Structure 1
Amino acid sequence: MRTLLNTLVILSILFSSCSSDDTPQENRSDLESLPKDSGGTHKALTIGESNKSNFGHYIYTPSGHDSNSHDFPLLVFLHGSGERGDSETNPDILKKVVVNGPPKLIEKNEWSPKYPMIVASPQLPSGNWNPDAIHNFITYLIENYNVNTKRIYLTGLSLGAFGCFNYVSKYGPDAYAAAIVPIAGGGNKNSGDKFTTIPVWAFHGDNDNVVSHIKSVDMVDAINKEKPNTPAKLTIYPNVGHNSWSRTYNASGMGDESNEYDAFDLNIYDWMFLFEK
């Protein structure tokens, strides 16, 4: 009887240690130790003012950042085509960066992730987001701010979503990003193998007549064919056009997503915090 009992205990231990759950094992000690953000600073820096960053940008630093005693997660937000502008020749044009996404929430005092984050929102003067320029911008941020380099996240909408995908497509595991959230975009379907160590959660509206939601479907399918460490996720909003980002960034779209794709059951910032390099 004792032998049978011992065997059952051993089997129970083995079973519990061999979970097939895809949910990452969370280590939040670095996040839990951060001081609560009681209200940070959102600063606009034109191209001339931002020194070596090569981008005019908005930078949000949480209230405890200046103490130099903590390193903070970094969120980089890439805007869409309508927000491009050269702040070196026209400083006021930089304000276009805050019309969407996290910088908009910050400006409206609606920014309240569970843990404090540095938020950098560069402005593209013209053309498309270049992977090398994104990489160099993040390098600049690491050199000039108290960044937790294990917790750098990238998100973007439309043109910026293409920028997210293209950045990882080029840099693969050497990308700074611990996870990305591209919204209403797409990328190179032949680069799925570059995403095996970088979690992806894409969002799209199925009635998008600017960028077809099939582009997000194709990218997520291509990534998952490569059996990434964390399966890529895709959330689709039925009867939603190109602007699928507002409801994603403020989480108001929870419950409105299609049940044929991944559920929007966690705000994207809490999802990001699940992952670190």
Structure 2
Amino acid sequence: MIKQLLYLGFLFIIGCGSNDNSIQNTNDLDLGTIKSGIQQAYLKGTTNTQYGFYLYTPSQYDATNEEKFPLLIYLHGAGSRGDSSINPNDLSVILLDGPPSLINEIRWNPKHPMIVASPQSPTVWNTEHLHDFISSLVESLKVDTQRIYMTGFSMGGKGCFDYVSNKGDDSYVAALVPIAGFGDISKGKQFKNIPVWAFHGDADNIVPYSSSVSMINAINAEDPATRAKLTIYPGVNHNSWTRTYDNTAIGEGHVDYDPFDITIYEWMYLYKK
């Protein structure tokens, strides 16, 4: 709570270390001149996408050469909803959790450099808006379209499941990591060609861990090309994402489920669309 109050008291144009959170105004989403190794904030309405968002490009990113990079889409939970076209400060809450938090705190160092896009939704995640958002990034950035990944927690975990449930093989993603989420168990067949690794705490009193168990069982019942994985943290409540995103819980998974034995970023990189 204290952390949230501190962040909400700041403008989202805070700079931290190598990050640059200044407002960007680029209505046509021409991101060809973005700064490498920088996480930049784009207010809703300043680009032609549906969302306000943070965008990080690794230091290796160079708009002048042909090298392309994996793209990670991060979906926040319900507590980070907002509309930066109404209140610019809303966007700062994206920096509270997940990859954008690690980037902002200069603790982001995956083995394989990737672009990270962190959109903000004012409501539950909308599949079509997400798909259009990713399309805009693919058109504007040097994205390896075979390596587009998605992760999110709570409402964002549901957003991950919903995106593939609705789009199936037409989705952009090559692999999916929903955390403390839930989905439509009647749509297991949609995940047949998309690897999934879900995480949940077994003491979650907001979204019961049985929600992830049911979803992963529904996917595996369809005999997917890659068996869906599930890691359960014993005694962990709703916040099962922090330890997953920063890798501090490696080795702590319940023995009756899949072990957390590799970072989710290295695991995602194993798969190409």
Shorter-chain TM-score range: 0.7 to 0.9
Q: Please name the residue that 2:14 is paired with.
A: none
Spell out, residue by residue over 1:68-107, the C-alpha distance to the aligned partner (whole angstroms, 9 max, x if none).
3211100000000000011011111100001000000000
Residue 103 of structure 1 pairs with residue 100 of structure 2: yes
Q: What letter corresponds to residue 165 of structure 1 in structure 2?
A: F
Shift of residue 64 of structure 1?
A: 2.7
Spell out, residue by residue over 1:21-79, the C-alpha distance to the aligned partner (whole angstroms, 9 max, x if none).
xxxxxxxxxxxxxxxxxx70100000122x11110000001123223321110000000
Aligned residue for 2:70, secondary structure, equals: strand
Please give the alpha-carbon distance, in whole angstroms, between the structure 1 residues aligned to 2:260 and 2:64: 36
Gaps of 5+ in 2: 1-35
Matches within 5 A, 1:136-215: 136-215=132-211
Residue 257 of structure 1 pairs with residue 257 of structure 2: no
Residue 91 of structure 1 pairs with residue 88 of structure 2: yes
Any conservation in 2 of the 1:181–1:200 contact (CA below 8 Å)?
yes
Spell out, residue by residue over 1:152-171, the C-alpha distance to the aligned partner (whole angstroms, 9 max, x if none).
00000000000000000000
Gaps of 5+ in 1: 1-38
Give the TM-score taking structure 1 as reference length: 0.84
Matched positions, count? 237
Any conservation in 2 of the 1:151–1:177 contact (CA below 8 Å)?
yes
Equivalent pairs: percent with the same residue?
Answer: 52
Which deviates the most, 232-241 or 89-98? 89-98
Q: Please name the residue that 2:41 is paired with.
A: 44
Please give the alpha-carbon distance, in whole angstroms, between the structure 2 residues aligned to 1:69 and 1:99: 33
Please give the alpha-carbon distance, in whole angstroms, between the structure 2 residues aligned to 1:107 and 1:68: 26
Please give the alpha-carbon distance, in whole angstroms, between the structure 2 residues aligned to 1:124 and 1:245: 19
Q: Please name the residue that 1:54 is paired with.
A: 50
Shift of residue 192 of structure 1?
A: 0.3
Any conservation in 2 of the 1:68–1:146 contact (CA below 8 Å)?
no
Q: What letter corresponds to residue 90 of structure 1 in structure 2?
A: N
Which of 129, 134, 152 pairs up with 1:133?
A: 129
Aligned residue for 2:124, secondary structure, equals: coil
Q: What letter corresponds to residue 86 of structure 2 in structure 1?
A: T
Q: Please name the residue that 2:17 is paired with.
A: none
Higher helix share: 1
Any conservation in 2 of the 1:190–1:222 contact (CA below 8 Å)?
yes
Aligned residue for 1:47, secondary structure, equals: coil
Shift of residue 200 of structure 1?
A: 0.1
RMSD: 0.8
Give the TM-score taking structure 2 as reference length: 0.86
Please give the alpha-carbon distance, in whole angstroms, between the structure 1 residues aligned to 2:139 and 2:89: 27
**CA radius of gyration, larger in:** 1
Q: Please name the residue that 1:227 is paired with.
A: 223
